[in-house]
Amino acid sequence: MSPNLDDLDPRTPVVVGVGQSSERLDTPGYRGRSPVDLAADAAREALADAGVDPAAVDTVAATRQFENSTPMSRAPLGRSDNFPRSVAGRLGADPKRAVLDVSGGQSPQHLVNEFAAAIAAGDAEVVLLFGAEAISTIEQHAKAADRPGFAEHADGDLEDRGYGLRGLVSMHHAAHGLADAPSQYALFDNARRARLKLTREEYARAIGELFAPFTRVAAANPHAAAPTERDARELVTPTEANRPIADPYTRYVVAREKVNQGAAVLLMSVAAARRLGVPADRWVFLAGHADLRERDLMQRADLSRGPASVRAAEHALEVAGIGPGDLAAIDLYSCFAAPVFNIADGLGLAPQDPRGLTATGGLPFFGGAGNNYSMHAIAEIVGRARRNPGRYGLVGANGGIMSKYSVGVYSTTPSPWRPDDSARLQAEIDAWPAPDEARQADGWATIETYTVKHARDGKRIGIVIGRLEADGRRFVARTDDRDTATVELLGTGEPIGQRLYARSFGFGNRVTVDEATMRQLYPAEPAVLRERYEHILTRRDGHLLEVTINRPEARNSLHPMANDELDHAFDAYFAADDLWVAILTGAGDKAFSAGNDLIYSGSGRPMWVPKNGFAGLTSRRYLPKPVIAAVNGFAMGGGCEIALACHLVVADATARFALSEVKVGLIAGAGGVVRLPRTVPAKLANEMILTGRRLTADEALACGLVNRVTGAGQAIEGARALAADILESSPTSVRISLQVMAETRGIPDVVEAVTHHSPALDELMVSEDMMEGLTAFAEKRRPRWRNR
């Protein structure tokens, strides 16, 4: 039984004010408001809604704009360096605390949940939440000569929580085309369609029927960005205006990000509401709430469902003490169909529920105001709660790739603050079993889910999440741009459950309809040295191979093409029986290698390395024949990692060694952070890795990083002399010695390692080289090695 207002704890949180603002480019009165302006407009409305002076606000918290949601985001017109305090300044407020939340559509509801709890704990009293986007205005004016400037500075402290992207952004996924939201969400909808055994046409119709009522709500909403009513067929029928985006989505049924919209919510304690004279008919209680997170994409057991999101909605209703049937108003985050279907399925709501599943019109039609959409949903649900006293409304706010879900249940019915049990539930979710993943996928596989991406120029690529038949591991892959047959398979009928052939490369996994197609697209190149390479030079001298990185103009830094050539050259070296020792060096006298080509990568072109790692060396399990690094000049970053991967290092007096990645915001991820601590004293390794400290050639010699130091410009001669010493030994013995060292490297007990039996020793005992060596010794002559 609910308490009377007089019986409530004075610290009980209540929503007392909501506000929204918007403008469209094509409407009279358009002013080109900045995100700060739009948020301030909405905040003024929320304060006026409650009749509260801005001076009463002790805390402000804001959602992030798209232009500040990832490290790669840009603000073409500039932005505030302290968004919450810029908005507060517009209002004349001077709060004690200012917060900028993490990215994600869950943010508005999460902030309500968080600060309601803070108010209940006595840690805040009057909290103003807000956010805004001006994407439409920014895009309209970004290239104009007289474009407005939205950059501004605001004094005061700021609790910037960062982007909050951990687990949501993956270089591996991006390399396979999963960098955009439509493609990732399409995986869920296609998996759900297959689970329900619906045809493509039936599922498209279901999406249209789901969203047609949303368009009617948007058409009646004065803040909607696309207030046009459309029927189910129009929503999903491809046309020039409604082009395919990613199967099964057309343009009309994906979130509309080009909006100018702001929204705000004013929270306070019951004590503050009474003190400030806020009428009780403005009070709306947060009766239930929950915040949960799904497992990361590849760790989800069933890609057709979002069970953690459903559990969040169920738990919020449990906290409120009601069931789905008690709700009078609902707004489910609707960037795509999948998150709406997911919650509707989980709560037993029909897509055509007469109560409706949106209060705003939804993200494709009202507008996807960045991370702030659900602030608008809260404003609408609060308004409905006031117009229907005693009834309940639910807001489901989704973030990431159906990853983070925050739920709020609102009512004017007096509700004491009830803590949720999200932490315990999250621990259970985190313990759910997860499929094993194959980062490199090779062999026959079955399709678990998929999508086909459609570019404006008509180009199509297919993206697949599949399971390898050999061991059931899950992987992500894409089609080759030249492969129309596999795209056709994914674009017709029912691909899920179909067989495909997968193969991994340095640039990612590819799938084709069969093995023959894969061989045709990627014919195997013989492991034989080419007559000519573009970015490297090769020279044979008897049993010695010299490989030179030939990019002196770029300090011998490596881009994908140079890496590929080095990979091929070393494949050929390791495969050739008559090549026994290799030397790797850099052209010129300035640098052995400056590592990754940052100018190339900074151009925005795809960066990748072969499966065998940087320079074709750093990710090989072991190098079966000796490789000597002849270091002339700088071995920086990846160049130092190449040297670390080699068996032996000869450095000239000018050589400098450093893992400098931390200086440019990276890490020595091609083996440097692993190999360096195993090569030099731990404290020195720590210093080099954490500060980018450079070692001279003599310092490197003293700590065991290099074998020999020569005069300036003499590294290659020193390497040749060292190679000559090796060439005097049995190539069979050298090769098997390297193999046994590799086999025993991970055995911590010395005696166990010594007594480890390697099959290679049996090979040695019957080798011609062993017999030749013993015979030559007895005959007091130089051996004639055969390497067999």
Which residues, 6 or more positions from 756, have their beta carbon under 8 angstroms from its beta carbon? 740, 743, 744, 747
**Are β-strands 59-62 and 126-134 bridged in parallel, bridged antiparallel, or unpaired?**
parallel
531 part of the active site? no
Q: Can you spell out the DSSP letters for 539-602?
A: EEETTEEEEEE--GGGTT-B-HHHHHHHHHHHHHHHH-TT--EEEEEESSSSEEE--B-HHHHH
Which residues, 6 or more positions from 788, have their beta carbon under 8 angstroms from its beta carbon? 577, 732, 767, 768, 769
DSSP letter assigned to residue 102: P
Q: Comparing C-alpha atoms, which of 547, 551, 550 is closest to residue 571?
A: 547
Residue type at position 125: E
| Residue 26: strand, helix, or coil | coil
Catalytic residue among 139, 534, 641, 687: 641
Contact 392, 407 (CB under 8 A): no
- φ/ψ of 143, rounded to 5, equals -105, 5
Helices (runs of H) and strands (runs of E) counted in the chain: 26, 27
Catalytic residue among 202, 469, 661, 687: 661
The Cα–Cα gap between 116 and 289 comes to 10
Assign 3-class secondary structure to 252-272.
Answer: HHCCCCCCEEEEEEEEEEHHH
Contact 467, 474 (CB under 8 A): yes
The Cα–Cα gap between 613 and 599 comes to 20
Q: How many other C-beta atoms lie within 10 A of the C-beta of residue 753? A: 15
Assign 3-class secondary structure to 510-531.
Answer: EEECCHHHHHHHCCCCCCCCCC
209 part of the active site? no
CA distances for 737 relative to 199, 617, 622, 742, angstroms: 60, 19, 12, 9
Which residues, 6 or more positions from 524, have their beta carbon under 8 angstroms from its beta carbon? none
Six-digit token string for 711: 């005069």
The Cα–Cα gap between 719 and 710 comes to 9
CA distances for 54 relative to 38, 59, 91, 126, angstroms: 16, 11, 6, 10
From the number of C-beta atoms within 10 Å of its C-beta (0-12, 13-18, 19+), residue 551 rates as buried
The Cα–Cα gap between 458 and 460 comes to 6
Q: How many other C-beta atoms lie within 10 A of the C-beta of residue 295? A: 18
The Cα–Cα gap between 521 and 565 comes to 19
Q: Helices 181-195 and 200-219 meet at what angle, rounded to 10? A: 120
Q: Comparing C-alpha atoms, which of 640, 639, 646 is closest to residue 623?
A: 646
Measured at the CA of 470, the angle between CA 466 and CA 473, to 5 degrees, comes to: 45
Residue reference for tokens 């573009």: 534
* Catalytic residue IDs: 641, 661
